[in-house]
Amino acid sequence: MFDGKFRKSLDATTAPVGRWLVRAGVSADVLTASGLVFAAATAFAIGAGWHWGAILLLTAAGFHDMLDGAVAKASQRVSQRGSFFDSVVDRVSDSLLMGGAAYYLIARHHGELVLLPFAVMTSTFLISYQRSKAESLGLDARGGLMERAERMILLGVGLLAAPLFVPVLWLMLVLTTMTAIGRFRRVWRAAARPEPVRRTYEHPRSHVGRIRRSIARSTRH
């Protein structure tokens, strides 16, 4: 949702910061890697039950994730390698965060509730896979109720108080599942449309020449 509606305004806001970081000698890959470090620290804080500290670390990880693209654009070094690295790090970060949530539930709850973070992670990965696969086919699969920015914000809300944590995870599961279903339907419909026929221009004289040759062959036979 944020990616579709607020991306332009966000890019305009972060562009000056990206230019400043480039002048300071900070690269996009460094921000991506340091964001992973903050995500790992956030996962540790969640598992240990230090949820207010986890909110601060999660915010720092979010700023790194938000600014690496701005730095790449400001340095004019947007590349396939950087995009690939960023996508992989995002998936690792998501896994770490849900792993921290699972560890926290193991320590403080009983039963099958520990499977809830893994269910959230599965639906999250499905959303990401649908987008990457659709884009490889030339289709657009962006948007939805619960993209990565929304997931991080909602997780931060769940960290505000212990009684909120489990209900927020359930809400994340419902919304991510709805997002995955919505993306599937949107891509399914787009993929069902017939591909446009590409017509190549042909000079009229070549067309006339083919007709003459065809007539000549028919008269010989």
- Catalytic positions, please? 90
Contact present, 67 and 31 (Cβ < 8 Å)? yes
State the amino acid at position 90 in one-letter form: D
Tell me the backbone φ, ψ of residue 147, rounded to 5 degrees: -90, -170
CA dist., res. 135 & res. 129, Å (int): 10
Tally the C-alpha atoms within 13 A of residue 50's C-alpha that lie toward its C-beta: 11
Return the SS3 of 2: helix
State the amino acid at position 107 in one-letter form: A
Q: Mark out the alpha helices in the chain (DSSP H runs).
A: 2-5, 7-23, 28-48, 51-74, 80-108, 115-136, 148-158, 162-192, 204-220
Return the SS3 of 112: helix
